[in-house]
């Protein structure tokens, strides 16, 4: 049997585009004399459709689309994911479904059983879990069709009381097929492969896995669809961070020992880089924009953001605005000019002094001679924010936010100033990782000037300011933040790791008391296991650790 894996970049609610991609995959499979072509979870709607699922018209368009696609399946079978209505009077109104189509006819609906309701997932909000299990039969072979999470209860700490494959194995399937929408984080590839390997080995069955690829706002999907043999050996692996289409002949399974493992290893920083570039590119394309604007400060965060955007959108489509003040060092401007010249990006220099002076003059009677403090520092950042948003509005460019995760965590940023933007590119990247990203960007040639990477980080909002004036070294800060945010360890547990108790208390208090700022940030491209945004839901007016 020849099975095709169609790894596509879908667009939520863009039925015309999604239908075209699926129809093209069906036609390509038919031309290669494929028996079955497999598409990913909720392919017709795109994933995650969220509250679009509450619109009856949205569901009807999904139903109409699958009927149209079924007619394309003459002489071929297909498995396609979409939301379908629950005909029962009780329960959630929808199922997360894989339809099995054969020779132009929808033969079977397979519903998802395990509905994730943690971190970024909220499927139980919309879908009813499946409670009946039946294999698909194609040309005399039973196929155990599962949907994403349905295979994840094979881990050591099961989240659910049932395991769909335990139910299906009694029907003697010959293959496992899993259609998925498994979002990327820099640890997910290894975890996902381990889960798939465990399933193949536990049930002694070959496994065909088809994942989404592309970005849906902050969620990034890395692809990496694959075929494993019954011993868990990878026989075929599709591309990462791009669309792909591959055909696998099951006759190869009998010769699997002669086939070398085609999977490749990625470094953590390489995956983060590729994911962010894809995330920027997809965000702009799916919104119908082509040009970005950002404030280039001479620091490493804006430099990395600018370089990533240039790779994603083309250097000519990234407009860099340098906005020096009385506190800006000469090298900040020089370093920024070096970057834009290296990447041949458009730029302008707009001093904020005149506007900042005007604000100071207007506020002078109300500040009543009080000394220069954070109010004036933030006023500079907000002056820059106003200028950037004015240019963004005038030219129709999306403003890129350049704050990193370390800053966002402790509130080291100004609302309506440097926290402005339509997309946060590195808001899920710790400062120490930003330095690694800069080195990776410079892996073949110096794109980011060396001085930007090596000079001490500074907001340059007062004389001789350094980040370390108010924050510990980033190596220490980032480790404390990682243990608290990603690992969810409490203060006592972090202190036992060897960190100063007073420092831990201060840092965790900063994280919690600045939650209100993060409620007002742009969407953040998610690359970690716990990003700020939809996957981390914290109350603002809580007392814990404050």
Q: Which of 8, 73, 112, 460 is catalytic?
A: 112
Residues 546, 541: Cα–Cα separation, whole Å: 10
Phi first, then psi: what are they for 494, rounded to 5°? -70, -40
Tally of residues, the chain = 546
What's the gap between Cα 69 and its chain centre? 29
Rg over alpha carbons for the chain, rounded to the nearest Å, is: 26
Q: Which of 148, 237, 286, 460 is catalytic?
A: 148
* Residues paired with residue 208 on neighbouring β-strands, in sequence order: 177, 227
Q: How many CB atoms lie within 10 A of CB 285?
A: 16
Structure tokens at 33: 């004399």
Strands 207-210 and 213-216: unpaired
Structure tokens at 170: 């009694």
Listing DSSP states for 13-40 in one string gives: T-HHHHHHHHHHHHHHHHHTT-SEEE--
Look at residue 136 and give its three-state secondary structure: strand
Residues 500, 515: Cα–Cα separation, whole Å: 23
Is position 41 annotated as part of the catalytic site? yes
Q: How many CB atoms lie within 10 A of CB 72?
A: 18
Structure tokens at 175: 């293959």
424 Cβ neighbours under 8 A, 6+ residues apart? 400, 401, 403, 408, 521, 522, 523, 524, 525
Q: Which of 8, 21, 41, 377 is catalytic?
A: 41
Is position 148 annotated as part of the catalytic site? yes
Look at residue 441 and give its three-state secondary structure: helix
Is position 149 annotated as part of the catalytic site? no
Residues 154, 164: Cα–Cα separation, whole Å: 10
Residue with tokens 């970024």: 120
Q: How many CB atoms lie within 10 A of CB 142?
A: 16
CA neighbor of 417 nearest in space, from 331, 332, 356, 354 = 356
Residues 22, 270: Cα–Cα separation, whole Å: 30
Look at residue 533 and give its three-state secondary structure: strand
131 Cβ neighbours under 8 A, 6+ residues apart? 113
Give catalytic residue positions: 41, 112, 148
């Amino acid at each position: 049997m020849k099975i095709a894996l169609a790894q596509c970049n879908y667009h939520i609610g863009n039925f015309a585009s999604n239908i075209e991609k699926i129809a093209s995959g069906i036609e390509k499979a038919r031309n290669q004399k494929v028996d079955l072509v497999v598409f990913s979870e909720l392919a017709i709607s795109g994933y995650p459709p969220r509250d679009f699922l509450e619109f009856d018209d949205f569901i009807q368009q999904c139903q109409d689309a699958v009927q149209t696609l079924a007619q394309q399946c003459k002489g071929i079978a297909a498995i396609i994911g979409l939301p379908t209505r629950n005909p029962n009077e009780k329960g959630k109104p929808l199922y997360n479904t894989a339809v099995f189509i054969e020779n132009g006819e929808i033969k079977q609906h397979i519903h998802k059983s395990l509905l994730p309701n943690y971190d970024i997932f909220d499927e139980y909000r919309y879908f009813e879990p499946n409670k009946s299990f039946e294999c698909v039969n194609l040309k005399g072979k039973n196929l155990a069709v599962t949907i994403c999470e349905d295979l994840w209860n094979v881990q050591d700490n099961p989240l659910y009381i049932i395991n769909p494959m335990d139910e299906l194995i009694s029907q003697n399937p010959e293959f496992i097929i899993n259609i998925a929408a498994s979002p990327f984080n820099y640890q997910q590839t290894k975890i996902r492969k381990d889960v798939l390997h465990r399933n193949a080995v536990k049930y002694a069955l070959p496994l065909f896995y088809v994942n989404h690829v592309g970005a849906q706002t902050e969620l990034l999907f890395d692809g990496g669809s694959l075929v494993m043999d019954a011993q868990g050996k990878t026989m075929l692996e599709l591309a990462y961070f791009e669309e792909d289409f591959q055909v696998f002949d099951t006759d190869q399974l009998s010769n699997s020992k002669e086939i070398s493992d085609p999977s490749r290893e990625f470094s953590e920083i390489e995956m983060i880089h590729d994911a962010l570039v894809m995330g920027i590119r997809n965000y702009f394309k799916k919104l119908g924009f082509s040009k970005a604007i950002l404030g280039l400060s001479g620091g490493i965060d804006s430099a990395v953001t600018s370089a990533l955007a240039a790779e994603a959108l083309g250097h000519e489509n990234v407009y860099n605005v340098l906005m020096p003040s009385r506190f800006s060092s000469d090298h900040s401007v020089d370093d920024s000019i070096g970057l834009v010249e290296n990447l041949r990006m458009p730029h302008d220099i707009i001093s904020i002094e005149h506007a900042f002076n005007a604000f100071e003059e207007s506020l002078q009677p109300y500040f009543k001679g009080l000394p220069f403090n954070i109010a004036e520092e933030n006023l500079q950042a907000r002056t820059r924010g106003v200028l950037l948003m004015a240019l963004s509005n005038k030219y129709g460019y999306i403003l890129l936010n350049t704050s990193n995760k370390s800053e966002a965590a402790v509130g080291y940023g100004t609302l309506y100033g440097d926290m402005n933007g339509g997309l946060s590119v590195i808001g899920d990247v710790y400062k120490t990782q930003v330095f690694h990203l800069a080195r990776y960007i410079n892996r073949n040639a110096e794109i980011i000037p060396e001085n930007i990477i090596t000079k001490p980080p500074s907001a340059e909002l007062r004389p001789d300011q350094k980040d370390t004036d108010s924050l510990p070294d980033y190596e220490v800060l980032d480790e404390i933040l990682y243990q608290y945010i990603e690992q969810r360890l409490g203060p006592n547990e972090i202190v036992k790791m060897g960190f100063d108790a007073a420092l831990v208390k201060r840092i965790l208090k900063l994280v919690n008391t600045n939650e209100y700022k993060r409620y007002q940030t742009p969407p953040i491209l998610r690359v970690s296991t716990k990003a700020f945004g939809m996957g981390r839901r914290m109350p603002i007016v809580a007392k814990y650790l404050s």
